[in-house]
């Protein structure tokens, strides 16, 4: 264990705070720097915060399974009380709809290898559990202005895969504030409303950061956990060119809708992924639901060059596309006359799998490329990064001998080489928010 070491974490979102807490517990003195006025006020605040295990690679499934235990044991993980209360994990279960009988066969094999609990539902079981769902198949997903969008379906869904341990975290920003309380209780500090403008080096190694105010914050270790701003920080550090996998910001919309009359979505709803229609949704406070895109190939993507400047207004086309798709699945869905929801950014890696790694600049580490699906892993990602940093700073070489991380709750061994910056593009990935 390293002691008397200092670490600057660039980012005060859920991942950056998760890392700070675990570094503090390993004897580091930490400082989180964030350009927002409070922790969790960047892209974290608008996360759907869904907890699920439906990934396309073994170590991603293992990481998610380990990560969900952090939320189930959140007060214990923190070890301190927050005057605002604790964020809560709402265990609704998680459902993946199947177009064809063989859908997600590879994923189910990963579930079996990892120990994820699941059940396969028939269309009849799906209708019994969720009578508001129409079980017709509309595959493949189509743009709302495609003439085929309105054609009557010719077949039924093949069923669904239900994971009872899935769900969502009810308040992403409060969860981040919970971490801040634990960090400050352990002696960590925050520099908010501050922007990093330079990564400092001494003798070929990182030595701290310079802020826009001119302040220099010295550190033995600097961690890039800047979310959609990660590419900007990597370019400052001069590490991007040596990476096989990079990141960039993607504009995203999540829409809010009321539950169908007579169906209490908060009490009976399930977090649902619907690749048949290219969408996903979850219950939302106030008997509502949050609706997002599953990144079907037919939907254009809006990449953002400068993450400080992007259009935060809901687009009519995206609203109609997502809402009318859900209208196929939930025919009694009330559709408000005015679009409602939030617009923010994903920090997307080349293959939509995160980068948890060191860099070619000694002392500079990265927890980036969350691609819209890593909120659930904030607790375990913090522990993984802290162990990886200790491993490297103690003389290990993560490039030649990747860290084998053992989960605190599950005991599963996770090969963190899967999350390397130097990995080949992972063709097993879904190349979408599903990861």
And the tokens for 114? 């990892």
Predicted confidence at residue 139, as pLDDT, reads: 97
Predicted confidence at residue 334, as pLDDT, reads: 94
Confidence of residue 265 (pLDDT cuts 50, 70, 90): confident
Average pLDDT over residues 122-146: 96
- Give per-residue pLDDT as tens, 361-400: 999 999 999 999 999 999 999 999 999 999 999 999 999 9
Classify each residue of 116-133 as buried b or exposed e, where b means 16 or more C-beta atoms within 10 Å of its C-beta. bebeebebeebbeebebb
349/360 Cα distance (integer angstroms):
18
- Give per-residue pLDDT as tens, 209-252: 999 999 999 999 999 999 999 999 999 999 999 999 999 999 99
Average pLDDT over residues 61-89: 98
Instruction: Count CA atoms within 13 Å of residue 76 on its CB side.
Output: 7
404/416 Cα distance (integer angstroms):
6
Three-state DSSP string of the chain: CCCCEEEEEECCCHHHHHHHHHHHCCCEEEEEEECCCCCCCCHHHHCCCEECCCCCCHHHHHHHHHHHHHHHCHHHHHCCCCCCCCCCEECCCEEEEECCCCCCHHHHHHHHHHCCCCEEECHHHHHHHCCCCCCECCCCCCCCCCHHHHCCCCCECCEEEEECCCEEECCHHHHHHHHHHHHHHCCCEEEECCCEEEEEEECCEEEEEEECCCCEEECCEEEECCHHHHHHHHHHHCCHHHCCCCEEEEEEEEEEEECCCCCCHHHHCCEEEECCCCEEEEEECCCEEEEEECCCCCCCCCEECCCCCCCCCCCHHHHHHHHHHHHHHCCCCCCCCCCCEEEEEEEEECCCCCEEEECCCCCEEEEECCCCCCHHHHHHHHHHHHHHHHHHHCCCCCCCCCCEEECCCCCCEEEHHHHCCCCCCCCCCCCCCCC
Domains of the chain plus CATH, in order, are 5-82+170-247+351-419 (3.50.50.60), 89-168+249-345 (3.30.9.10)
- Give per-residue pLDDT as tens, 146-165: 999 999 999 999 999 999 99
Predicted confidence at residue 428, as pLDDT, reads: 85
Confidence of residue 2 (pLDDT cuts 50, 70, 90): very low
Q: Residue 207 — φ and ψ, nearest 5°? A: -135, 5
Average pLDDT over residues 12-16: 98
Contacts of 245 (CB under 8 A, 6+ apart): 349, 350, 351, 353, 355, 369, 420, 421, 422, 423, 425
Predicted confidence at residue 125, as pLDDT, reads: 97
Predicted confidence at residue 4, as pLDDT, reads: 78
Of 428 and 308, the structure prediction assigns the larger pLDDT to: 308
Predicted confidence at residue 1, as pLDDT, reads: 47
Classify each residue of 38-75 as buried b or exposed e, where b means 16 or more C-beta atoms within 10 Å of its C-beta. bbbbbbbbbbbbbbbbbbbbbbbbbbbbbbbbbbeebe
- Give per-residue pLDDT as tens, 17-34: 999 999 999 999 999 999
Average pLDDT over residues 394-420: 97
Predicted confidence at residue 98, as pLDDT, reads: 98
- Give per-residue pLDDT as tens, 311-356: 999 999 999 999 999 999 999 999 998 999 999 999 999 999 999 9
Is the per-residue pLDDT at 58 higher than 60?
Answer: yes
pTM of the predicted model as reported, rounded to 2 decimal places: 0.97
Instruction: Count CA atoms within 13 Å of residue 368 on its CB side.
Output: 33
239/247 Cα distance (integer angstroms):
12
Is the per-residue pLDDT at 3 higher than 70?
Answer: no
CB atoms within 10 A of CB 258: 16
324/333 Cα distance (integer angstroms):
9
Average pLDDT of the chain, as a whole number: 96
């Amino acid at each position: 264990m390293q002691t008397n070491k200092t670490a600057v974490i660039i980012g005060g979102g859920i991942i950056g705070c998760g890392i700070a807490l675990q570094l503090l517990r390993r004897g580091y003195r930490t400082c989180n720097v964030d350009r927002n006025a409070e922790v969790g006020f960047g892209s974290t605040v608008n996360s759907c915060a869904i907890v699920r295990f439906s990934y396309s690679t073994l170590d991603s499934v293992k990481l998610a399974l380990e990560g969900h235990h952090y939320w189930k044991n959140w007060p214990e993980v923190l070890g301190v009380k927050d005057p605002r209360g604790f964020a809560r994990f709402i265990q609704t279960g998680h459902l993946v709809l199947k177009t064809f009988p063989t859908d997600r066969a590879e994923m189910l094999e990963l579930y079996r290898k990892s120990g994820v609990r699941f059940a396969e539902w028939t269309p009849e079981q799906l209708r019994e559990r969720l009578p508001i769902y129409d079980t017709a198949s509309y595959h493949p997903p189509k743009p709302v202005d495609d003439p085929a969008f309105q054609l009557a379906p010719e077949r039924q869904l093949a069923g669904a895969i239900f994971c009872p341990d899935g769900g969502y975290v009810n308040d992403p920003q409060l969860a981040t504030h919970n971490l801040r309380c634990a960090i400050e209780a352990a002696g960590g500090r925050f520099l908010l409303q501050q922007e990093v403008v330079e990564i400092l080096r001494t003798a070929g190694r990182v030595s701290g950061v310079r802020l826009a105010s001119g302040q220099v914050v010295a550190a033995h270790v600097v961690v890039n956990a800047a979310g959609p701003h990660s590419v900007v920080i990597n370019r400052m550090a001069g590490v991007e060119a040596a990476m096989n996998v990079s990141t960039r910001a993607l504009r995203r919309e999540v829409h809010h809708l009321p539950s169908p009359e007579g169906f209490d979505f908060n009490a009976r709803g399930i977090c649902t992924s619907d690749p048949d229609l290219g969408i996903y949704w979850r219950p939302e406070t106030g008997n509502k639901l949050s609706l997002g895109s599953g990144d079907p190939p037919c939907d254009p993507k809006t990449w953002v060059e400068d993450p400080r400047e992007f259009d935060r207004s809901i687009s009519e086309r995206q609203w109609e596309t997502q809402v009318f798709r859900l209208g196929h699945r939930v025919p009694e869905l009330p559709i408000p006359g005015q679009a409602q929801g939030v617009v923010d950014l994903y920090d997307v890696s080349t293959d939509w799998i995160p980068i948890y790694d060191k860099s070619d600049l000694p002392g500079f580490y990265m927890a980036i490329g969350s691609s819209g699906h890593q909120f659930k892993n904030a607790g375990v990602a913090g522990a993984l990064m802290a162990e990886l940093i200790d491993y490297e700073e103690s003389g290990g070489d993560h490039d030649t001998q990747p860290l084998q991380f053992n989960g605190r709750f599950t005991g599963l061994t996770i090969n963190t080489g899967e999350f390397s910056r130097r990995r080949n593009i992972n063709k097993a990935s879904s190349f979408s928010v599903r990861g």
